[in-house]
Structure 1
């Protein structure tokens, strides 16, 4: 997990600098701009893209939310709630609780798959045989 870096409010970054301090790839930054998660950058007098400390803070928020497994739409909703003057903590809590329930469902499904695969692999002798239990289990699923 990347460490969060903050800078003074007046500091500006090129896209490469923003990528370096945020740990987010250049193309991902461009993608976030294109889909509206990150505000479009300003241009310098020389035509270079210039990002502010606000861009960095928002990019760090997006990165952390994605690391927590929030979907793109959930990140958009969190940003919208965060940007609002009267952000509803209740709405954020509901979003987080729904996400948590989805994670718990995935964990249950993964544990079930782990048990199935473990039992199937235990039946395999590892030798040369025309009837491989793993292949048979996959074929019969």
Structure 2
């Protein structure tokens, strides 16, 4: 039986053994063949699959989204799992997060520029740039 044992696959793909087992349980990585001694033996293509999963995670896709995208490649998924559609939606999410982070950065910079040293004092000042009332209401 030829192929890669778990440790070889993990090393080649840059993950640990627990990650491989987790991907198997989630259905992202096909269950490997086993030797007579019970050792897992993965096909050489499993390295590419694991690298694809890790790259997709770094791009912000969840494991559920990745599972659908991987299934699309196998011809098993719904039509709405198309990579271009998912990537377009992910771009919109990223742009929204960038806008949120930009607003946070700008507010914090305004607090630094205003000389805010203490949140309690700053919150009581009419010149405080941190929107405490709006932020408190956002969580309700």
Q: Return the TM-score normalized by structure 2.
A: 0.76
Residues 19 and 25 in structure 1, CA contact (< 8 A), matched pair in contact too: yes
2:35 is the counterpart of 1:44: yes
Residues 15 and 51 in structure 1, CA contact (< 8 A), matched pair in contact too: yes
Other-structure match for 1:133: 122
Bigger RCO of structures 1 and 2 (CA < 8 A, at least 6 apart): 1
- Residue-pair matches, total: 128
Across the aligned residues of Structure 1 and Structure 2, the Cα RMSD in angstroms comes to 2.9
Tell me whether 54-63 or 95-104 shows the greater mean CA deviation. Answer: 54-63
SS at match of 1:60: helix
Deviation at 1:25, TM superposition (A): 1.9
Deviation at 1:113, TM superposition (A): 0.7
Give the Cα–Cα distance (whole angstroms) in 2 for the partners of residues 125 and 98 of structure 1. 38
Residues 13 and 51 in structure 1, CA contact (< 8 A), matched pair in contact too: yes
Deviation at 1:139, TM superposition (A): 5.9
Deviation at 1:52, TM superposition (A): 1.2
In the alignment, structure 1 segments of 5+ residues that lack a partner are 1-9
2:47 is the counterpart of 1:56: yes
SS at match of 2:103: helix
Q: 4+ residue runs of structure 1 moved beyond 4 angstroms?
A: 129-132, 136-140
Deviation at 1:132, TM superposition (A): 4.8
